[in-house]
Amino acid sequence: MLDPSRRIRIAVDAMGGDHGPEALIRGAVEALQTIDGDFDILIVGDEPAIWRILDEIRPGPLPIFSVHAQGQVEMDEKAPRALRGKPRSSIAVCTALVGSGRADALVSAGNTGAVVAASLLNLGRMPGIHRPAISATIPTSSGMCVILDVGANADCKPLNLYQFAHMGHLFAKLVLGIESPRVGLLNIGEEPTKGSALAQAAHQLLAADRERLNFVGNVEGRHIFAGEADVVVCDGFTGNVILKLAGSIGSVGSRMAGDIIRRSLVLRAGALLMKPALVSLKRRFNYEEYGGALLLGTRGTSVICHGRSSPRAIRNAIHVALRATRADLAGTIAQVLTEQELGAVRSMS
């Protein structure tokens, strides 16, 4: 349990990301300037580079500190090997800071595989959790939807999906503030007997746990954007495909719209008047804005951002890391999922 008298400290991996440390540092500064409450930010990376950027930005007196790291895991490197070869890389230092209690959470826009592997290595898996999951937030016509797993596990067992449901439920409740999140199982039909062997078995586990989980049954592809569940549970293969597809809709839609608009002057005039709405709509579909993806199931809080994250996206990710820390999400997951009732479920599968 977090000591309420201690200031929260968020470690930011400045070296991950496609555009180098600047977006990360600008995002950290924006977070300190705009988010309520006291917290420190530790910028982890090549210190001379960090200082140069801070010198340019001149953010004034803010609780922002640098921690040196040597090198970084590149976006195309294989995570386990890269971590062995670069034990002082920025993501290794970030996770070590959280693992040793010198920071409470970390935010990285680096190689997702490296964030997962380093978190497992330096934070450790939560007792009782078989597999950690990455949970992302995507827009719906009525708000937001948490979807997990979006890529930590390409192959899953029914018990994994069952645990993802509980972790997603706690994330939606404690971090997003949804009182009784509607949890749905992604499937290809509404009846319990529909779908893959995995989905059918997971449905049974979830339906048997309705006392603790607001399980709304199967949800189909068309229900996701329609906002018919607050949490959608699936294997990491399907979830990753959906997340990347959803993230491409904004730019594909605007390219298609552009092709149509070019056909007439009237349409072009309309588009000019509507521009703020079109930009806003495109941004709605841009999941990068929504505060990154949270790795659930390790002893700590790791927020994973898109490599192309803007300072605004990094600021939002820091906000998610703060809320997860303040709500003690990781501790609550450990507590709920090690409760004795789960022993019975575990023995079923």
List of residues contacting a second copy (CB under 8 A) = 139-141, 151, 154-155, 186, 188, 194-197, 199, 220-226, 234-238, 240-249, 252-253, 255-257, 260-261, 266-267, 269-277, 280-281, 284
Q: In this complex, which beta carbon is closest to a second copy, that of residue 100 or of residue 280?
A: 280
CA distance 318 to 31: 7
- The least distance separating a second copy from the CB of residue 187, rounded to whole angstroms, comes to 8
CA distance 271 to 327: 44
Six-digit token pair at 245? 């597809």
143: three-class secondary structure by DSSP: coil
CA distance 325 to 327: 5
Q: In this complex, which beta carbon is closest to a second copy, that of residue 87 or of residue 258?
A: 258
- DSSP letter for 145, please: E
- The least distance separating a second copy from the CB of residue 221, rounded to whole angstroms, comes to 3
CA distance 186 to 221: 7
Give the strand order in the sheet containing 105-108.
64-68, 39-45, 8-13, 105-108, 301-304, 293-296, 133-139, 144-148, 231-233, 183-186, 215-219
**Kindly report the CA angle at 33 between 31 and 34, in degrees rounded to 5?**
70
- The least distance separating a second copy from the CB of residue 294, rounded to whole angstroms, comes to 18
Q: In this complex, which beta carbon is closest to a second copy, that of residue 49 or of residue 281?
A: 281
- The least distance separating a second copy from the CB of residue 160, rounded to whole angstroms, comes to 13
CA distance 139 to 287: 7
Q: In this complex, which beta carbon is closest to a second copy, that of residue 147 or of residue 213?
A: 147
Q: In this complex, which beta carbon is closest to a second copy, that of residue 9 or of residue 182?
A: 182
Six-digit token pair at 46? 């090549």
CA distance 74 to 15: 9
- The least distance separating a second copy from the CB of residue 275, rounded to whole angstroms, comes to 8
Q: In this complex, which beta carbon is closest to a second copy, that of residue 208 or of residue 237?
A: 237
Q: In this complex, which beta carbon is closest to a second copy, that of residue 97 or of residue 246?
A: 246
139: three-class secondary structure by DSSP: strand
Rounded to 5 degrees, φ, ψ at 131 are -140, 135
Chain position carrying tokens 């509607």: 182
Strand 144-148 and strand 133-139: pairing?
antiparallel
- The least distance separating a second copy from the CB of residue 189, rounded to whole angstroms, comes to 9
CA distance 236 to 213: 21
Residue 68 identity (one-letter amino acid): H
- The least distance separating a second copy from the CB of residue 220, rounded to whole angstroms, comes to 5
- The least distance separating a second copy from the CB of residue 102, rounded to whole angstroms, comes to 33
Q: How many CB atoms lie within 10 A of CB 141?
A: 8
- The least distance separating a second copy from the CB of residue 246, rounded to whole angstroms, comes to 8
Q: In this complex, which beta carbon is closest to a second copy, that of residue 34 or of residue 264?
A: 264
Q: In this complex, which beta carbon is closest to a second copy, that of residue 70 or of residue 225?
A: 225
270: three-class secondary structure by DSSP: helix
Q: 96: number of CA atoms within 13 Å, CB side?
A: 12
- The least distance separating a second copy from the CB of residue 239, rounded to whole angstroms, comes to 9
Q: In this complex, which beta carbon is closest to a second copy, that of residue 252 or of residue 348?
A: 252
